[in-house]
Amino acid sequence: MAHKFKIVSRSNGQFGVQFVYNSEVIFWSESYKSKSSAQNCIDSLKKNAPDAPTADLTKDEDAKGYHFEIAASKDGQTFVRFVASNGETMVRTETYTSKSSSKNAIESLKKNGPGAEVVDES
């Protein structure tokens, strides 16, 4: 399967999560102090992303619980965040010139995340 989650090393002995397609990183996480926290992030994405609603913040939409947000960057492009039920951003994407690319990233995680292999590269 081409889609996978990676646990990667970060500075100061911390860990991060990446959701990748082939060699392209689609989503990445904050840094976690423990590998188990990174794994918890992956487990939560696999469980909660498939049915999560999307709030387009460029249209003043809102969502509760686990959800995706399409947000505008300072230069007018868009990016995506996946937000936990406590309001914390779990993962985000790069900025895209078209909103359709942001929507494609969401669909990729929803569709391919649950069955994606987990690879520990830390």
Average pLDDT score over residue span 110-120: 96
pLDDT in tens, 42-81: 999 999 999 999 999 999 999 999 999 999 998 989 999 9
Beta bridge partners of 8: 16
Any alpha helices (H) in the chain, and if so which ranges?
35-48, 99-112
| Domains observed in the chain | 3-115 (2.30.29.80)
Interval 84-106: pLDDT, tens: 999 999 999 999 999 999 999 99
| 50 vs 113: CA distance, rounded Å | 8
Pair 46, 109: CB distance under 8 Å? no
| C-beta of residue 57 within 8 angstroms of C-beta of residue 79 | no
Confidence of residue 23 (pLDDT cuts 50, 70, 90): confident
Question: pTM, whole model, 2 decimals?
Answer: 0.91
